[in-house]
Every structure is written in structure tokens, then in C-alpha cells.
Structure 1
Amino acid sequence: MPATKMKTVRHSEQSLRTALISKNPALVSQYEKLDAAERRLMNEAFRPASDLFGPIVLHSQSDWIASHPEPPQGFEEFFSDPSRKTPSREKHSIYIQCIGSLGNTRIISEEYVKWLKGYCEAFFYGLTVKLLEPVPVSATQCAFRVNENTKNLQIHAGHILHFLKKKKPEDAFCIVGVTMIDLYPRDSWNFVFGQASLTDGVGIFSFARYGGDFYSSSYEGKVKAPQRPSSRDYSAFDSYYTPDVTSVLLLRSCKTLTHEIGHIFGLRHCQWLACLMQGSNHLEEADRRPLDLCPICLRKLQCAVGFNIVERYKALVRWIDDDSADTPRGTPKHGPDGNVNLPKPVEAFEEWREWIMKCLAVVQK
């Protein structure tokens, strides 16, 4: 088979500078008022030799940018987007709603959603992240089916969004559902990783396909196809198989969650530099995306949330370092109060931690 020719998406220094700073005098002046150290980091965007922010590399024609032409969004387009929603004093919280179990025991499930909460608090530094009580699939009253290809259960993403919209608390900037059950958006579609409504501030994301054994026989025989899916008999989901919680699964989950919540803030798919906000058509492409934002998207998020970049990076490093004791993965530790603590599996985050330290070194020169 011939090797796929990789293509690098390179923008001129001038177009990257305009995307980051803009040519609008008011936005240029806003940029110049930023902390000098923060500007030093963001200016890495248009330094051709930067080892922090590189160009996007397309591996095949099926990659997102090649197959989804979209107008690029610089800071100015983001800032002046009339439909963009920004957190306010009254609506300052991100809510996470777990649907079904996230792990094969209650303790793993509870710890997993706590790790996701902590990660979101560091990533969207300055906002409050709250957990809602987990609910079974039956509580959502969604349609479901067995996927013809994978033979796995799937739940209807649009119905879940409708359920979340009704549950959205008063102080919520947004509410996002997370599940280990595969999603489909409509009957004609095979599957979707997630779906969000920006106007309603709701999203649903599935981590099912991020487990190492989703496509293998682990699921065979686990699913009894309902005779009539419309009969709303949700017993098929009782003790439904969940993947083993690994460091890679946690990393992929954190990546998807922050990418999709980024959309709710009005960040569109990034086409400037390698960035968390790049679109992805398949898992290999999603895995190639970095965990963090390029300077252009970082400026957008900072404008929406108002964090200090150094404090945000430090919070992300703390999340990686906290609780990741040298206990073998998945071995529960008993705390002094008798509660069980699972060590957070953060091995897959180590390379990213080193990258953040390099960014901190630039900012703290």
C-alpha cells in the first residue's frame, strides 16, 4: 500500500499575527494591555522556530480540515461573534451529569467523574465545576438501539440533550452529560462522539469508543437486542459492560470534554496551529491533537473566562501531580477515614506536563 503523503498546513507569520492580535485598533490595544509575560508566550504563535506551537499536519484526505472546509476563526471573529455566550456572575458554573456508569464498580465510576471535574476546573480556571447526581439511562427516557456494525447499545444524543436542557440549574453556564455508552444522532447515522447545542449551553459526550476493547469481542453476548426498542425497556443497560479505566482512556476523555465545552464558549475548530480545538474525524486524528490550546485559542478562552495564564498552567500541573501516587494503577488506597482512594492514572499526561513546564518557563522568564 503506498504511504499517505502528509501535508503541513502553514500560515504566514503575518496571518498568524493577525489571527492572534487582529488589525482592529481596539483589539490591538486590548492585547497590548495584557501582561507582558503572557504576551511573550502568545507571540510564540508566529515565531517560526517555536518548539511550543507547531503547524497542523494532515495525515490523510479523511482528516477533518481536508474534508470539512470551514471559515477560519481568528480572535477578532471570535470576539465580535454576536451569538457567543460568556459566563456571568449569575451563570458561572459548568455542571457535569453522568449517565449510566463510567467504571465497572461504583467506586471507580465516582472517582472517574471526580477526576474529570478536577481537570475541567483547572482547564477552565476560575469557573466552578459541579457534579450532578449520576442517573441511569432510563431517567433520560431516550430512544436507543443496537448498532448493526458493533453490536453495541447506543443512546440517542438529541434526546439526551433535551433531558439535560430541562435539568439545567439556574447558575449554570452550561451542563454536559458524560457516558460510557455509544451515541447516535439520528437513525441514518452510524455513531457520534458527542453533540452540543451552543444556544442552550448543553452537550453530551460518550467515551465508549476510547476504551481499548470497544471493537473487540468483549461486548459479544453482553447485549440482548430489545424486541421493540420503542417499548422503553431499559433493562438492557443494567450492569452493561464498561471499559477498564486506563490512563489513555482518562486522557482521551479529558480531551473530548474540554474540546466540546470549548465550542460552548464559542471557540470554533482551530485551523491555525496544532491545537486541542482542531476538528477530528476519527480516533487516530483525535489522538494526534495536543491536550492544550494554541495561543490564538488560548486568547479566546482567556477573554471569555478571564484567567491568569500562569495560574491556569499551575493548576493543570497540580491536577496531574495530585493523588498520582506511585501505587500500581487501579489499586485502591484506604484513606485515614476508611474511604477508598483510587490513584489517578496520569502516566499518559507526562509528556504534556513537560510541555506546560516549558510554557511556564517562557512566561516566568
Structure 2
Amino acid sequence: MYKLIFLITCSIFSNTYSQNKQFKVLDKKDKNPLNDVLFYSNDKVIAKSNKYGVIKLDNKNYGNLFIVKEDYYDTIINLELLQSDEIYLKKIDVIELKEVIVRKKNIESILDSVYSNSITLKKINPTKYLHFFNVLTTQSDTLLFANNRVAFIKGRGCFIERENKIISNFTQKNSNPVFSLSNHNIIFNKNFTHSNSPINSFELMIVTKLKDKFLFSIFEEEDFYQIKFEPKVTNNEYPYSGYIIVDKSDFGVYEFKAEVSIKKNKRNLVLENKILNFQILTETSYIKYKKDINGNYELIKYAYDSELKVLNGFFKDRIFINKCRKELTPYFDTSSMVPFDVITYKTNYNHEKKLLKQYHF
């Protein structure tokens, strides 16, 4: 009798154990665990890693799974073919230039070409499948949140999966989002909806258009120009320092990085007939493209991080934090997705109008 009970207990334990598979998701380079990694089966999230990088999956034959994490290349795996319980993701790293030689070049002419290419979207491939992560918070309040994959269907516009809820506490006024919090409104110099194309992002436009506000130096490799920049002493509003890596043949952008380099900076704008002042605590913008065999550029990653402090008004001393990521993701099933307006963040509306800029979101 005891033997029978023991066998039944073992059988139950064995069946329960076999119903689950456990894996750990790690950074490929430093082997650190990665939290909040999303695992998709077709268009459904079936698991998310915990703070230790661990996920548990039912013992099913899912076929191919999509692994999505901001700042990392999206990956496709098949659990049946895995030979380990560890899954490694590769971070989207910057280009490392090998041999750099200083040259005298017409920097302004190169920057003018970069600016012209950016505003016209010259040789920029439409991004068809994208992982979009964007969050704007202050204290315990969330004004914006999206962590979804989006698809751009030619002639129809943008569509978004319904897996994660979208938070959008703002209305549009004069093409700018006005956020509502505690029955008060607030707006920012930066459009935190990030509805524009990365290649004509605000930071890249500032550096390439307002050249008199920066000091430039240029370096040259076989196929690239690397233009480094830093703010002039008088540039307290947008004191960016960083670099642009540009193709020598067509002036396409491979990489762009800009960050606020001085602490004493202030921006202001007019809200409800009053001047609202901000101090920028941190701000970093990063763009990465790759060039295909046809000579066109495809987005790999757009990353933006910002912390700003309100200096006056109702929200005085409040710190607002924004983090945005746009990253290329492989093809996925879009049959259950819903229309999404990248400007208003609204879904489920008649969205058949063709908007070229949105295809480059």
C-alpha cells in the first residue's frame, strides 16, 4: 500500500514538473540576468522574465518564440532546439572605429547634407516591424506608457498589438501634447510622444541645423566621417556633446549620439500665458542605422533618456523622467492588431489615410 502511494506521488510530481520549462535570460557579454524580457508566441506574450532573468513556460511545442527586450536585438528561438537552459541576448552596441585619421574637411557642408537627408528621409527604408517602448513618469504618476510591437502596413498606416495597455494622459494642442496631472496642465520643450522619425529627431536637427552653437572636429576612416561636437560656452539651452558617424559617399547617418554635458542649463516655454522653466538633469539621444545592399538605411535603434526638473509653477521641484526605445524587430503575425495613431496614441479608429512620415516612425 505504501509502495503504491509512493509511486502515485512520484507520478504526480513528475507530471507536474514536466509541465513547465525554466530558462534564464542573460546578457551575452557580461552574463548579467535580464528582467522584463517579453516572450511572444505569434502575437501573444506568454511569459516575462523576473528580476533574476528567470522565465517559466508550459511544456508545450510553441515552435518559434520571439524574444523582445529594449536595448537588445530581438531574437527568435525554438525551445525544442535549445541545448541549454540559458538564453543570451546581444546588446545593440555602438560602432567602434578602428583607425582614425584627422583630416581638414568642410564640416559645415557635410552637416548640411546630413540635415537635408534627414528632413527629406532620403534613402531611409520604411520601418515595417518595430518594438516601441515609451514611458513618462513623475513620482508615482505615469503620464505615458507603451511597451508593444507595432507594424506599418503600406497604404493603411500604423497598427499595434493589444498585449500591453497604453497610457496616454494628454491632448493635442497646436501639434503639441498637453499633459494633465492633478487637474493641472503641463507641456515640455521635447515632444515625449516621440512620434517623429528617428532620423529627423529633435537632437540631430539641433546639432546639424544650429551649427553656430557648437564646436566641431572631424575624423576620417576609409568609409566614414566621424564628426564630434561640443557646445559653445553661450549654449545653455541645448548644450549637447557627442558625435555623428556619416557615410562618406552619400552622407547617410550610421550613428548619432548626443547628451547634455553641463549641469547649468535651463529651458523655458509659455504655458497658459506664464513662463514655465525647466532644468535638464540628464538627457541622452542615440540613433543607429545600417546600410543595406541597395544603399538604403534601415533603423536598428533609437534611444532617448531624459530627466528634467520643473523650476516654477504648480509642479515646482517635480522631476519628470522619460525613456523611449524604437528597435527593429523581425516579421510577426499582425492579424489581430488594431490601428494606432502615433501622434495621439489612440487606437480603434478609421485609419486608412496614408501618412508617409508615420511609416518611418
TM-score band by shorter chain is: under 0.3
Higher strand content, 1 or 2: 2
Higher helix content, 1 or 2: 1
Q: TM-score, normalised by structure 1?
A: 0.25
Q: TM-score, normalised by structure 2?
A: 0.25
